[in-house]
Amino acid sequence: MTDARFTPIATNDRITTLDVIRGVALFGILLMNVEFFNRPISELDVGLPAGVTGIDYWAGWFVLVFIRSKFWTMFSLLFGMGFAVMLGRAQAAGRPFLAPYVRRTLALALFGFLHCVFIWNGDILFDYAMAAAFLLIVFHAKPKVLLWIAVFALLVAAASGGAQIAGYEQKVWIGGLMIGGPLLVLGLLAWAIRKWPANGLRNAGLVLFLLPCMGLLIGGLVTPQTTQAERDRAAMTDAKTPAERAELKKALAERAKAIKEHDEKVATERRLNSSGTYAENVAFRLAEWPKNAVGHIPFSLTFVLGMFLLGAWFIRSGLMTQPAAHLDLYKKMAMFGIPFGIGLSIVGAAIASTHVRGVNDALFTFAQGLMLIASLPACLGYVAAIVLMFHSPRLRAFVAPFAQAGRMALTVYITMSIIGTLFFYGHGLGHYGMGRAWQLVWCVAVFALLLVLANLWLNRFRYGPLEWAWRGITYLRVPSMRSERLATA
């Protein structure tokens, strides 16, 4: 009798191109993350650090233009492809999908939580787990059910906005929005991919990714291009009544308090990273985790889920399962995506690098939107270039070595954070604050070492250690760790 259980992918069934792209994406993520092994993660969206000059400035500029947001998008795209591959194999074999995928997602969330709290708070795995849960809802829930629940939650939120039940109305209003908003988005997505099965995934992914980008662009354009102090004075002048002025003063005081608390958080994080003990860092990250996890829901629901949907479309359309048959399209993607994406990034970086808080915030918001939009064509162009190189006899050797790192991507990703924090943080070797140029040299050296270690490991074992644990949780069976080559020797 044929074993009907849903089993891990055998080595000879893997899509090697995916492993290569995944390995390159890991290197790009390291080039991005190294800055925040040397800088508080709370400063993620404030642009280049002040006072950086010379070669360090140009190293930071290089990352801002060619790396930033291009590789977490690529990694997200690959997660979407993995979902589609797993679903396709389950459907083709008539095997269950839902339970293994739920276990896989919960395990990823656990890895993300442990990574964020015990290693480094720049984790993206938990965001991926949230997006994976959203993706599951889109594919398996009934659109009408999602939309009716969303409408009910939003109506409750709207009604509670005018309620006079002191102490409860705000919680109900926020709760209704947090439930109704995401369900409305998911319901519309579920409806769209059923309405247009051929290109619904692609179009929904593009819209989901680009809508918040357009929001940033429009927000930056419509906000007066004046300093915050000038806008505050104008608002105070426009306030007609004592009640309006009192309300405005209260809002300004709350904003000033929030800015002060954020600055204190940045200073605390910098102190802990540079000279704090490991226990102090863990306590800080644990205290921050719940707020950050909730705050990342919009990011997971839009940008990450959008890339997941695009990744699923890459598999279902055959672009990634049969890349050799679509090389002409990949050439067009590379020739258009890279110049267009990098061109927009240069414009955005030129604006963002001049950011001074309270002086040109509106312009910086516009620049962020521009760079996020740029990341999509640049990411797709990079993916296309990697595919073309891998299918070129002359260029294949430049990208093929990344495949082994891609095969054990979760292990390599976590290991990069372990090495980074142990090397730079005060509870490790204490090189916190290394210059930007030397950071990039460090990345090349560390990733070269990881490529060697990945090759040595996979010569003897079938999976990376975390991949082995992840598969065991997913399929509720212990996968064989011995490599297929040694098993048949």
The answer to whether 64 touches 352, Cβ cutoff 8 Å, is yes
Write down the pLDDT at residue 486.
56
Mean pLDDT, the chain, rounded, equals 86
Q: How many CA atoms lie within 13 A of 307 on its CB side?
A: 26
Q: Which residues pair with 482 in a beta bridge?
A: 461
The answer to whether 382 touches 65, Cβ cutoff 8 Å, is no
Angle at 317 between CA 312 and CA 322, to 5 degrees: 105
Q: Specify the range with the lowest mean pLDDT, choosing from 64-73, 139-148, 335-344.
A: 139-148
Q: What's the distance, CA 235 to chain centroid?
A: 37
How many Å apart are CA 407 and CA 454, to the nearest integer? 9
How many Å apart are CA 307 and CA 376, to the nearest integer? 9
Q: Specify the range with the lowest mean pLDDT, choosing from 77-86, 171-180, 400-409, 418-427.
A: 171-180
DSSP state letters, 369-393: HHHHHHHHHHHHHHHHHHHHHHT-T
Where residue 241 falls among pLDDT bands split at 50, 70, 90? confident
How many Å apart are CA 83 and CA 77, to the nearest integer? 10
pLDDT single digits (tens) 248-272:
778 778 878 888 888 899 999 999 9
pLDDT single digits (tens) 314-332:
998 999 989 989 999 999 9
How many Å apart are CA 281 and CA 275, to the nearest integer? 10
pLDDT single digits (tens) 430-459:
999 999 999 999 999 999 999 999 999 999
Among the listed residues 118, 72, 115, the one whose alpha carbon sits nearest the alpha carbon of residue 299:
72
The answer to whether 479 touches 471, Cβ cutoff 8 Å, is yes
Where residue 280 falls among pLDDT bands split at 50, 70, 90? very high
Q: What is the pTM of this model?
A: 0.89
DSSP state letters, 238-272: H--SHHHHHHHHHHHHHHHHHHHHHHHHHHHHHHH
Q: How many CA atoms lie within 13 A of 80 on its CB side?
A: 30
The token pair at 220 is 């930056």
Write down the pLDDT at residue 215.
87
Q: Which of helix, strand or coil describes residue 488?
A: coil
pLDDT single digits (tens) 162-180:
444 444 444 555 555 667 6
Per-residue DSSP letter, 63: I
Query: Who's near 123: CB < 8 A, 6+ residues apart?
Result: 112, 115, 116, 417
How many Å apart are CA 2 and CA 220, to the nearest integer? 60
Write down the pLDDT at residue 485.
59
Secondary element (H or E) of residue 413: helix 409-424
Under the phi-then-psi rule, with left for phi > 0, alpha for psi from -120 to 50, and beta for the rest, what region is 47?
left
Q: How many CA atoms lie within 13 A of 21 on its CB side?
A: 31
Q: Count CB neighbours of 431 within 10 A.
A: 16
Among the listed residues 133, 135, 130, 182, the one whose alpha carbon sits nearest the alpha carbon of residue 154:
182
Write down the pLDDT at residue 147.
78
